[in-house]
Amino acid sequence: MAQFYGEVKGSGFAPIHRVGTKKTGLESIAASYEGGIRVVLTHDEREGRDYARIESIRWPSRRLEEVLFEGPLSLGPEDENEGGDEDGDDDGDEMDGDD
Instruction: Report yes or no on 96 lying in a domain.
Output: no
Structural domain of residue 12, as residue ranges? 4-74
Instruction: Report yes or no on 57 lying in a domain.
Output: yes
- The whole-number pLDDT of residue 99 equals 47
14-65: per-residue pLDDT in tens?
999 999 999 999 999 999 999 999 999 999 999 999 999 999 999 999 999 9
Instruction: Report yes or no on 99 lying in a domain.
Output: no
CA distances in angstroms from 10 to 15, 42, 67, 84, listed in the order given: 7, 25, 25, 39
Contact yes or no for 26/17 (Cβ under 8 A): no
Instruction: Report yes or no on 90 lying in a domain.
Output: no
**Structurally, how many domains does the chain consist of?**
1
Mean pLDDT calculated for residue range 70-87: 69
Contact yes or no for 84/75 (Cβ under 8 A): no
Give residue 80's region: left, alpha or beta (phi > 0; psi -120 to 50). Answer: alpha
Candidates 52, 55, 56; CA nearest to 42 is 52
